[in-house]
């Protein structure tokens, strides 16, 4: 996958964000909030996965 350009119109101004990992954006919430939410859920999924792996070793 290549880089993506995400366009956000906020307060009548266009913001352009470039990223290799994020390729889709919805209307709400704004880009920065979406990235924070994505990071949170990625952290949670990694945490849950590591807990499952530890319990499998017992």
Residue ranges, the chain, pLDDT below 50? none
Beta strand pairing call for 4-10 and 13-19: antiparallel
Distance CA 8, CA 16 (A): 6
Q: What is the DSSP string of the chain?
A: ---EEEEEEETTEEEEEEESS-----SSS-HHHHHHHHHHHHHHHHHHHHHHHHHHT-
What pLDDT is stored for residue 52 in this prediction? 66
- Per-residue pLDDT of 25-35, as tens digits, reads 677 888 889 88
Q: Where are the domains of the chain?
A: 4-56
């Amino acid at each position: 996958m290549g880089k993506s350009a995400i366009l956000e119109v906020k307060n009548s101004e266009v913001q352009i964000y470039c990223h290799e990992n994020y390729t889709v954006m919805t209307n709400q919430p704004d880009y920065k909030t979406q990235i924070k939410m994505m990071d949170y859920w990625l952290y949670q999924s990694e945490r849950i996965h590591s807990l499952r792996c530890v319990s499998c070793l017992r």
